[in-house]
């Protein structure tokens, strides 16, 4: 049985495969731009020209970058029997939604999407190992 845990945020994803007593970990980096919308006055005078900020353009580009990021992760988790997703922000929820909508066979393997703050690689491995150990104990 191959259990897979994913710790992800907007910047990178750690994928840990646990099979029997072996652990393999790979890191996948996203290429999601970290943008800040700059708008407001283009002059120091009150009532001067204003920059028009196209929020929808940025959000659409970010959405497409998330989809590309998720597509890079999919091949690494296709063969998993059980999947758990951790992360500090909304990336895990977005990834789970993408799996449920467009990759139903993989999405059905997701057992939980849980919040977890930033951690070291060893802490991430331990967190995922403990999750699956607890799952096994509940089954027995």
In a domain, 89, yes or no: yes
Mean pLDDT computed over every residue of the chain: 86
41 part of a folded domain: no
| Tens of pLDDT, residues 2-32 | 999 999 999 999 999 998 878 999 999 998 8
Residue 49 included in any domain: no
Q: Is residue 87 part of a domain?
A: yes
Return d(Cα 53, Cα 68) in angstroms, integer.
25
Q: Give me the pLDDT at residue 53, please.
A: 58
For residue 53, how far is the Cα from the chain centroid? 28
In a domain, 46, yes or no: no
Residue 101 resides in a domain: yes
Q: Residues 70-95: pLDDT tens digits?
A: 999 999 999 999 999 999 888 999 99
Q: 3-class SS at 17?
A: strand
- Give the pTM: 0.82
Domain range for residue 15? 2-30+54-139
Residue 39 inside a domain? The answer is no
State the alpha helices, DSSP H only, in 1-140.
Answer: 55-77, 91-102, 104-107, 121-139
Q: What CATH number is given to the structural domain containing 90? A: 3.30.420.60
Number of domains in the chain: 1
Structure confidence at residue 52 as a pLDDT band (50, 70, 90):
low
81 vs 11: CA distance, rounded Å? 26
Which of 65 and 140 is assigned the larger pLDDT? 65
CB atoms within 10 A of CB 51: 11
Q: Is residue 130 part of a domain?
A: yes
d(CA 18, CA 126): 11
């Amino acid at each position: 049985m191959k259990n897979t845990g994913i710790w992800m945020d907007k910047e990178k994803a750690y994928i840990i495969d646990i099979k029997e007593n072996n652990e393999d970990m790979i890191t996948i980096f996203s290429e999601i731009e970290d943008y800040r919308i700059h708008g407001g006055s283009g002059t120091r005078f009150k009532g001067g020209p204003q920059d028009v900020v196209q929020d929808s353009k940025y959000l659409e580009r970010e959405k497409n970058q998330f989809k590309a990021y998720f597509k890079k992760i999919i091949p690494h988790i296709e063969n998993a029997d059980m999947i758990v997703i951790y992360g500090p922000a909304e990336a895990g929820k977005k990834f789970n939604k993408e799996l449920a909508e467009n990759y139903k066979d993989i999405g059905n393997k997701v057992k939980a999407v849980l919040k977890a703050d930033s951690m070291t690689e060893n802490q991430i491995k331990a967190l995922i190992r403990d999750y699956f150990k607890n799952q096994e104990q509940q089954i027995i």
